[in-house]
Amino acid sequence: MSGTTLIRKEVLLKIAANSKVEIMNNFESPSKTFGSNTFDDKVMREMLPKDVYNKLRDTIKKGQKLDLSIANAVAHAMKEWAMSKGVSHYTHWFQPQTGSTAEKHDAFLEYDENSVIERFRGSQLVQGEPDASSFPSGGARTTFEARGYTMWDPSSPAFIMEGPRGGILCIPSVFISYTGEALDKKTPLLRSMDTISKSALKILKLFGNNTATRVLTTIGTEQEYFLIDKAFYALRPDLMITGRTLIGAKPPKGQQMEDHYFGSIKERVLDFMQDAEAELYKLGVPAKTRHNEVAPHQYEIAPIFAEANVGADRNHIIMEVLKKTANRHGLALLLHEKPFAGVNGSGKHNNWSIADSEGNNLLDPGDTPEENLQFLVFLTAVLRAVYKHSSLLRMSIASSSNDHRLGANEAPPAIISVFLGEQLSKILNDIKEGKPSNATKQFIIDLGIDKLPSIMRDYTDRNRTSPFAFTGQKFEFRAIGSSASVSMANTVLSAAVADSLDLLHDEINDKVKGGMEFNAAVLQVIKKHIIETEPIRFEGNNYSEEWAKEAEKRGLPNIKRSAYAFDALKDKNNVEMLTRQGVFKPSEIEGRYNIKVEQYITSLEIEVETLNNLLKTHIIPCVISFKSQLLENIRNVKELGTTLPKDSAEPEMSILKKLNENLQLVIAGLSKLESSLAKASALNDHSKKAKFFADNIVDIMDEIRKPCDALEMIVPDDLWTLPKYEEMLFIM
Ligand code: ADP
Ligand code: MG
């Protein structure tokens, strides 16, 4: 048959023949190579003059700006170190609002008289000036005023990304406009870390802790992803262009057997993972856990947690290294939230906590009654933050791709709620009812203070269905998409918690000033907010329909399509909180709103066009080929006439009928899609346009998919040009 058909078959045979793995056994223990490609403390100590080193160390520890007087010395040392590792170029590595990272390479190259030398100046280390006009700003800048600056974030170590002919020195940076507006995702994240630090320190002071100098936000991101053979990827334009399969019939065996989760890892995949981890170790990324996920060919990697900005950088590094390594291994890495319909999608669990500069986790109940009480203040602040600003959290995970996963019975729904576990819920209920907790044996710590409950330390309670769960010493925000940057989610979360900590602080302080005993004042304030925030707490199955109904009764929003979630950035309470906390300026919030809406529309437009092309150049021609085969058969039967039994063409006729029915549905769907698109493009208001896409076009695409997938089950396998689910998900 046609050439394309042959390609798919050839690819299948080739993959089957090539999937052998060479055993190399050249493993290096992580401790030997860890951080060898990072300009870390050890290198700095070795390479910098002592006074410069001390100043830089101070800058990093206190989260301050770099003292320009030492920049030249630091830049020189960095260059020498990088060149000793075969590096010729550097880049300010930053996170524009496109969702990925950006880099523009510059050589350490300068003219000195008539010869060329390698030089890297302090000013180049500290500040770069990329042409910012091509990065989204959401209207914050006009093109003629396109200057933007990247500035080194010294608290995240510079690193070398290895390349085929030498590496690139990457300098983690922020990206701001000429007028000082944040054009990136990192600047607001850093601001949120500062503000929560200040607010948390005030609470610590209330409790008599005067030694802590800073409070750190910590995050650990569990990254899910799919791997498929690159040859399949190359044959699926939808995967290549949109990241997901826009059509594809479900295989007879998907994940029903539940035999993939924590299953033994295939050698080809293990080879990939070990290779990627080796590179991550060199980059100072402490990759700790790897396992098979629920869906076939779905996996997870999780590093040990770090400070939020470093953790966010590392998550970007992880995604980049996985992508590069997959490519080297003839594999395609799929980071989309839902590459395969009907099969589990991928997310990114964001474990979040706060710790003081002495290393005490502030979401750890602690060992003494005072620590327990302090823990309850932080816990209540988180509850209030989520309760008051759940719409911001929903916004922070919003994208057209994550819409396919949220609420699709393997991921938390779009309803934001908090899971605390039985013990903690009981304690909060006791406080609410003002009764002393009758300490059972399960409560390990007896508080001994009258009226105060005891808190169990070791949390084994798990509720995998909750979008925001307390998992002992940390909260786990599970609704972030696998392809997303974690910056926005952590920024709004930390800002909202800081805002609640401020309020709790002031309320406690007022009561104490009014003469109330400290513990009593704290309890009274906590009690008020426990009652206030009760609707946000949910301990049951978040995937169930009953929860959706119950949540509605409680007045919790259930925003299924992201086009509506962006509105949180227009909400007065949210804007006031974010600006009060100094995390965003109003113009920056507006810019982000515009960018998110535009990105939503654009990604759907791309999907529509890709679907259109797939249907017209793959599906419809395949169906027509089969149709002509059938018609020829029918004609042959008719020509033979009476020599054959009367109903000889009946089977062909009935297949033809089904074929036609589905084909007509596809074509009708296409024209519906076209007329809807025309309506959409007539809308000038981009917010209305995004909502129009959400309310109309997304559903039409789903509708078209049904007859397509039915056709895939009717058309002969050797006529079907696109790799099928069972091939992509089971052959490697
Ligand atoms: P799970 O059962 O969800 O897999 P793990 O204990 O494996 O939980 O932790 C998952 C992630 O949470 C890891 O990245 C881990 O480093 C991170 N984590 C642990 N403690 C903290 C913390 N205090 N702050 C932020 N992240 C943390
Ligand atoms: Mg987890």
Residue of 196, 218, 305, 458 to mutate, ligand 1, most atoms within 8 A of C-beta:
305
What pLDDT score was predicted for residue 114?
87
What pLDDT score was predicted for residue 445?
40
Q: Which pLDDT band holds residue 269 (cuts at 50, 70, 90)? A: very high
Q: Which range (283-292, 454-463, 628-637, 705-714) has the least confidence?
A: 454-463
Atom of ligand 1 nearest to the CA of 473: 23
* Mean pLDDT of the region 463-489: 94
How many whole angstroms from 35 Cα to the centroid of ligand 1? 21
Ligand nearest to the CA of 462: 1
3-state secondary structure labels for all residues of 433-477: HCCCCCCCCCCCCCCCCCCCCCCCCCCCCCCCCCCEEECCCCEEE
What's the CATH code, domain 600-728?
A: 1.20.120.1560
Residue of 216, 218, 301, 351 to mutate, ligand 1, most atoms within 8 A of C-beta:
351
What is the Cβ-side half-sphere exposure of residue 140, based on CA atoms within 13 angstroms?
Answer: 32
How many whole angstroms from 163 Cα to the centroid of ligand 1? 31
* Mean pLDDT of the region 5-21: 77
What pLDDT score was predicted for residue 489?
98
Residue of 315, 279, 302 whose CA lies nearest to 99: 315
Ligand nearest to the CA of 291: 1
- Provide the 10 A C-beta neighbour count for residue 336: 22
How many whole angstroms from 291 Cα to the centroid of ligand 2? 12
Q: Whose CA is nearest to atom 23 of ligand 1?
A: 353
Q: Whose CA is nearest to atom 13 of ligand 1?
A: 220
pLDDT above 90 covers a percentage of the chain that reads 68
**Residue 140 pLDDT greater than 60, yes or no:** no
Q: Which range (258-267, 602-611, 640-649, 657-666) has the least confidence?
A: 258-267
Q: Which DSSP string do the residues of 161-194 spell out, in sequence order?
A: E--BTB-EEEEEEEEEETTS-B-BSHHHHHHHHH
Q: Which range (109-113, 212-216, 283-287, 364-368) has the least confidence?
A: 364-368
Q: Where are the domains of the chain?
A: 34-184, 191-599, 600-728
**Residue 448 pLDDT greater than 60, yes or no:** no
CATH superfamily of 34-184: Glutamine synthetase, N-terminal domain (3.10.20.70)
Atom of ligand 1 nearest to the CA of 363: 23
Ligand nearest to the CA of 348: 2
* Mean pLDDT of the region 468-482: 94
Dihedral, 681, 683, 685, 687 alpha carbons, nearest 10: -70
Beta-strand pair 109-112/127-128: unpaired
pTM for this structure? 0.93
Atom of ligand 1 nearest to the CA of 289: 7
SS3 36: coil
Q: Whose CA is nearest to atom 25 of ligand 1?
A: 219
How many whole angstroms from 308 Cα to the centroid of ligand 1? 13
How many whole angstroms from 476 Cα to the centroid of ligand 2? 7
* Mean pLDDT of the region 195-218: 96
Q: Which pLDDT band holds residue 178 (cuts at 50, 70, 90)? A: confident
Atom of ligand 1 nearest to the CA of 351: 26
**Residue 632 pLDDT greater than 70, yes or no:** yes
Q: How far apart are the first and last CA of the chain?
A: 26
* Mean pLDDT of the region 404-420: 86
Q: Whose CA is nearest to atom 14 of ligand 1?
A: 220
How many whole angstroms from 363 Cα to the centroid of ligand 1? 13
Q: At what angle do helices 308-328 and 487-513 cross, to 10 degrees?
A: 160
How many whole angstroms from 725 Cα to the centroid of ligand 2? 28
Q: Which range (230-234, 386-390, 408-412, 441-445) has the least confidence?
A: 441-445
Q: Which range (81-95, 100-114, 518-532) has the least confidence?
A: 100-114
Contact between 481 and 402 (Cβ < 8 Å) = yes
Contact between 212 and 357 (Cβ < 8 Å) = yes
What pLDDT score was predicted for residue 398?
96
Q: Which DSSP string do the residues of 560-585 spell out, in sequence order?
A: -SHHHHGGGGG-HHHHHHHHHTTS--
**Residue 94 pLDDT greater than 60, yes or no:** yes
One CATH from 1.10.357.10, 1.10.630.10, 3.40.50.300, 3.30.590.10 for 191-599: 3.30.590.10
- Structure tokens that stand for 429 in this block: 């209920």
| Residue/partner pairs of 508-514 with CB below 8 Å, 24 or more apart | 508/206, 508/377, 509/206
**Residue 5 pLDDT greater than 80, yes or no:** no
How many whole angstroms from 218 Cα to the centroid of ligand 1? 10
Tell me the average pLDDT of the chain.
Answer: 89
What residue ranges line ligand 1, CB within 6 angstroms? 218-220, 222, 289, 302-305, 351-353, 361, 471, 473-474
Atom of ligand 1 nearest to the CA of 305: 16
How many whole angstroms from 182 Cα to the centroid of ligand 1? 30
Q: Which pLDDT band holds residue 144 (cuts at 50, 70, 90)? A: very low
Residue of 679, 692, 684 whose CA lies nearest to 561: 692
How many whole angstroms from 292 Cα to the centroid of ligand 2? 14
Ligand nearest to the CA of 478: 2
Q: Which pLDDT band holds residue 67 (cuts at 50, 70, 90)? A: confident
What pLDDT score was predicted for residue 461?
60
